[in-house]
Chains A and B, each alone.
Chain A
Amino acid sequence: MPVVDLALASVRDLNAALHALGPDTNETHWQVVNPRGLHAIAVGIDVPVTVEIDGHAGYYCAGMNKHACVIINGNAGVGVAENIMSGVVRVKGDASQAAGATGCGGLLVIEGNASARCGISMKGVDIIVKGNVGHMSAFMAQAGTLTVLGDVGDALGDSIYEARLYVRGSVKSLGADCIEKPLEDTHKDQLYSKLEAAGIAGEVDVAEFRRYGSARRLYNFHIDNVAAY
């Protein structure tokens, strides 16, 4: 198993090595030690490998990930897994702002809490936060799911499009055009499958969640809705 010590090697060295891997590589499990909050660790991986980061990562860790499984055994800075396309990114600690921002696919699991703007402009990613999330989460969320096992801050789902939001705890307030919707069996099935993918299906009862989504009142600009903007 390749081990990259970021106290000795640079982030550039690490990413260059990961980018050089072919889809049939035998080096399928990488360990990164001494990340020390460095930025852009494991950005742009395009192969099905596992990268374990032992410690805290800075901004944009695992950004634009494709196919890989990136595990952060610590906290993650701003924009973890931003624009993720596929694969899995798992944060064992807490995540800062804009976790999973603009993510197009794949799965982001945050075992701790996530700060503000979690899932902002998400475009298909599935995000599961075991703790709480901050304000303006799922802002302009276009597609995918944001599942929060804890509580949510102000203005959840402001200007949301077609993303689905599942929350088990309290919601401080909803943003413009975001409303609570019935949790049907199909939604419970979807939610269960997402939790199952994250490996936590047995930990919570899907019936305890509430579902939020777009009222679709702001999809086409109308002057009578101007106060909502």
Chain B
Amino acid sequence: MRPPSSSPPTTPRVSATFDQYVLSEIRRAAATGIYDIRGAGAKRRLPHFDDLLFLGASISRYPLEGYREKCGTDVVLGDRFARKPLELKIPITIAGMSFGSLSAPAKEALGRGASAMGTSTTTGDGGMTLEERLSSATLVYQVLPSRYGMNPDDLRKADAIEVVVGQGAKPGGGGMLLGQKITERVAAMRSLPIGIDQRSACRHPDWTGPDDLQIKIEELRELTDWQKPIYVKVGASRPYYDTALSVKAGADVVVLDGMQGGTAATQEVFIENVGIPTLAAIRPAVRALQELGMHRKVQLIVSGGIRNGADVAKALALGADAVSIGTAALVAIGDNDPALEEEYQALGSRAGAYDDWHEGNDPAGITTQNPELFRRLDPIKAGRRLANFLAVLTLEAQTIARACGKSHVHNLEPEDLVALTIEAAAMAGVPLAGTDWIPGPGRV
């Protein structure tokens, strides 16, 4: 026992640098000798849409009546070259997530929810399933480096084609689907043995660089008789150049995914330390489009951390034509539900923090190939929940747009925004609130 001291005790101090999470990760690494793999996107605090505010109409601006005056939400994607561009009722799409990483009922639910709201969903690294094609009125087919399950019939069945160069959670990285999720059906679709770890390449096998990409896009257009819009998806790292090069390569649509965008399975160190925040990526991409005279001609879809209608409205105000949601869509259909708290704790996690999507033990039946688990997910009810969520996002974005005097959500503009922090002001290119100062070279 420590002898009594006459001096007051010092409160034990935890390091801000070596916080409890950091300490636990050091211990875990020392015990296992392997990096941590998890799903989802960056969890660290980042400059984000929360750091922006809208300037509602006042004497100098004329608002629209919130419940009576029309505020359009429709968007056309891919009318640069494609004979059959997509005509969506709302500017919120469902991001690419594979069958394999997600269960078949989850893919079906995403299709049902998106279709009910007149928007699109997207395949992923593993090919197109019958369930998602049948349940998705508008389906975007991803062409990924692995080409798992790719065939010309599915490309022709798709409504658009998305050439995936990278994703926000891991620009420059490939993927890994652990063996426990490589069931007989998943293995057959990917031409792989059952139960092995499936690695997805980080580079496409048959093209390198923007000149090759242009020819690859030409091939895809020839294959589909120039009917399908061709998207190019990039992870946000050098958005100005990637957008410009995608336009040069002939993309109809550029999909820009910030580092908050989710992944099925990637190293924690990669997710948290590679790429840039969504907020920082939009304006350089829009600038590239504007300088090329292609803004609103080549559409820009922004993803990574879109959670509510305010985020949708802010992304559109900064120049996006549409947004895409992944993590929020999974939460809407039941991921990380507090009702499953006990089961999450049994897996060493908790509701709201569960991200071991790659292990295939998801009690919500979403990120699993275990029949006992995925049968828990009712795709009809889950689809309804997603449709409800998409409806709320749309209503919220409309509410803000009307308050800013806009008869269409695409009429929102940077002038409608201010920033709460200098960082956000610099990234978004809008004034710090209460000032007319936009940080950055050449800005006033």
A60 contacts B by Cβ under 8 Å: yes
Q: Roughly how many angstroms separate A80 CA and B195 CA in the complex, as a whole number?
A: 32
Q: Roughly how many angstroms separate A221 CA and B33 CA in the complex, as a whole number?
A: 12
Contact B206 A219 (CB under 8 A): no
Minimum Cβ distance to chain B for residue A116 (Å): 11
Mask for B24-48, Cβ within 8 A of A = 1, else 0?
Answer: 0000000011100000000000000
Q: For residue B33, which residues in chain A have a CB less than 8 angstroms away from its CB?
A: 223
B206 contacts which of A11, A66, A120 (Cβ < 8 Å)?
A120
Contact B193 A16 (CB under 8 A): no
Q: For residue B57, which residues in chain A have a CB less than 8 angstroms away from its CB?
A: none
A145 contacts B by Cβ under 8 Å: no
Given contacts A40-B218, A59-B212, contact A79 B206 (CB under 8 A): yes
A143 contacts B by Cβ under 8 Å: yes
Q: How many residues of A contact B (CB 8 A)?
A: 42
Given contacts A63-B219, A102-B147, A140-B199, contact A120 B192 (CB under 8 A): no
Contact A83 B147 (CB under 8 A): yes
Chain B residues numbered 187-233 whose CB sits less than 8 Å from any CB in chain A: 190-193, 195-197, 199, 201, 205-207, 212, 215-216, 218-219, 222-226
Q: For residue A44, which residues in chain B have a CB less than 8 angstroms away from its CB?
A: 152, 222-224
Given contacts A46-B152, A83-B147, contact A63 B199 (CB under 8 A): no
Given contacts A121-B146, A223-B32, contact A102 B223 (CB under 8 A): no
Mostly, the A contact residues are loop
Q: Roughly how many angstroms separate A180 CA and B193 CA in the complex, as a whole number?
A: 20
Q: Roughly how many angstroms separate A123 CA and B188 CA in the complex, as a whole number?
A: 11
Q: Roughly how many angstroms separate A66 CA and B155 CA in the complex, as a whole number?
A: 14
What residue in chain A is nearest B191 (Cβ atoms)? A123
Q: For residue B155, which residues in chain A have a CB less than 8 angstroms away from its CB?
A: 64
Chain B residues numbered 106-160 whose CB sits less than 8 Å from any CB in chain A: 146-147, 150-152, 155
Contact A60 B206 (CB under 8 A): yes
B150 contacts which of A102, A161, A162 (Cβ < 8 Å)?
A102
Contact B219 A59 (CB under 8 A): yes
Contact A78 B219 (CB under 8 A): no
Contact A64 B223 (CB under 8 A): yes
Pairs of residues from A and B, 8 with the lowest C-beta to C-beta distance, nearest first: A79-B206, A44-B223, A219-B196, A123-B191, A102-B147, A98-B206, A64-B152, A101-B206
- Of the A-B pairs whose beta carbons lie under 8 Å apart in the complex, a sample of 29, sorted by A's number, is A15-B225, A16-B225, A19-B225, A40-B215, A44-B152, A44-B223, A46-B152, A59-B216, A60-B206, A60-B219, A63-B219, A63-B223, A82-B205, A83-B147, A101-B206, A102-B150, A104-B191, A117-B205, A120-B205, A120-B206, A121-B147, A124-B191, A140-B199, A142-B191, A161-B192, A162-B193, A220-B179, A220-B195, A221-B34
